[in-house]
Structure 1
């Protein structure tokens, strides 16, 4: 038994090197891009911001049907009309993803009216934007229900059918703040860190499920209404991302079945530095990351 354990220990570096080489080969020789023409895409928070841009990008790349979920009918209706003018079939449903029963009811209505969803994009999110002591308890709960638990309900609603069909993809529009928190948005950073763990566990669980994948997108500060209160240390060096860029890169990642996407690529360096620098240097990282000052009580892409 002792020799067997020793043998496994000696083989570990070889196995790790093989995994690294295989991953490098997959990057150099990406798999064939997914053809979206047979897909039905559901986007939560699809009425505005990144959600609206995602609907445009999926439509532009030929998605068969697009479904929008959100809480503001005016925005949903406007986006749906625009997508139809682009030539894609588009439907919208008013739904608060933080409400479990409402999610299950709307999911049933989607299946009956539109059909099976093959790509689910969990994009809906809100930010309260205050310190812990200044935050209202109900507001904190709302952030966690929408940003984190909402993904549990939507995924439970649509993943089983994807597994039956051996065809599906779960997407999470997360944030780099899940890996490097900032002051002034404790509700958002906490919920996004939880969301990241959810997606990491889900992605690993889907490794043995043929035809079904997952993608987590971690963008930096994006120029949407939601983050007007974001303050960055070097705005000229690190300007906010455009929602169109986030949408385009996200759809590309789905087509390539990439499990993780950080935007821009320099965020990889931020994460690495945070993991290797001593505690005394973390203050500089926080200053680099920025801070959030709430402009309104609540903002989000819902």
Structure 2
């Protein structure tokens, strides 16, 4: 194919895809059924992980719940069974430990079968300035928030590829799209998670495995306690998100094969402006939105060395 012809084809398809996106703004995408799927959720013992499990509980799925906390996982099991989940399996797993991830993954494959929807949700935050954060906490942030995604994909993606069926979900963060004062290690780990998920998605497309879907979730602060004390200057523009709302949006994104989910929606505009405006204007807008002070009063679940 020559340059002119291929360029015309790209222009024509660009117009088509823009029209398609416009139509989807007014006509909701059809939701796919997840009945019969085996869904593994890391960090299922609390927060968004638990709420996602609760949303799936009545949909006829098999739930596989991973968490480092046995008590938290037990409580999630109890709650999802109350919501109607018939097939629930829970495992204690430290997702920062590669050997443990592989070992527990093998146990899941023996006892439950192949995972068809993988939701990498486990995450931690130190909430300290870079120079104040101990090396051990920086390493742990990277191990849990990004490296763990490598090991779970290695463990469960081959079966999805073999059957050309599955869904990979990365619960990242808006901090994986732009730097935030006071979140250097967290931003680094979430940037890594986003980049990794995007790259794997492209590998799947390049090898014609379009039956394996991907969703990257990038929310602003969520009111789960993880970012307790974090502030937003203008809540009407950048609100602290309510957990139930976030969980429902994630479920909908999975059911409609939405590739990117940013919350709140103003993040789509913020990211577009970040990439086209002069740096000084970007910094001016960042200051206006309070981005330099989000973490000034951060307490989280408690800072530990």
Q: Which one of 157, 160, 170 corresponds to residue 159 of structure 1?
A: 157
Matches of 1:72 and 1:210, distance apart in 2? 35
What's the CA shift for 1:38?
0.6
1:27-176 equivalences in 2 (<5 Å): 32-60=30-58, 62-88=59-85, 89-176=87-174
Change (3 A) 1:12 1:112: closer
- TM-score, normalization by structure 2: 0.90
Matching residue of 2:294:
291
Contact 1:40 1:117 in 2 (8 A): yes
Listed as ranges, the gaps of 5+ residues in structure 2 are none
Matches of 1:36 and 1:10, distance apart in 2? 39
Q: Which one of 18, 21, 28 corresponds to residue 19 of structure 2?
A: 21
Matching residue of 1:244:
244
- Once superposed, what is the RMSD of the aligned Cα atoms? 2.1
What is the aligned length? 296
What's the CA shift for 1:249?
0.8
Q: Does 1:205 align with 2:203?
A: yes
What's the CA shift for 1:250?
0.6
For residues 199-236 of structure 1, give each alpha carbon's deviation from its aligned partner in whole angstroms, at most 9, with x where no partner exists: 11122222321421110111111101111131211135
What's the CA shift for 1:29?
5.8
Matches of 2:295 and 2:182, distance apart in 1? 5
Contact 1:127 1:188 in 2 (8 A): yes
Matches of 1:101 and 1:24, distance apart in 2? 46
Matching residue of 1:224:
224
What's the CA shift for 1:240?
1.1
Aligned to 2:169, the other structure's residue is in SS state strand
Matches of 2:14 and 2:214, distance apart in 1? 23
- TM-score, normalization by structure 1: 0.91
Matches of 2:270 and 2:120, distance apart in 1? 25
Contact 1:129 1:292 in 2 (8 A): yes
Listed as ranges, the gaps of 5+ residues in structure 1 are none
Query: Relative contact order: is structure 1 or structure 2 higher (C-alpha 8 Å, sep ≥ 6)?
Result: 1
Contact 2:116 2:160 in 1 (8 A): yes
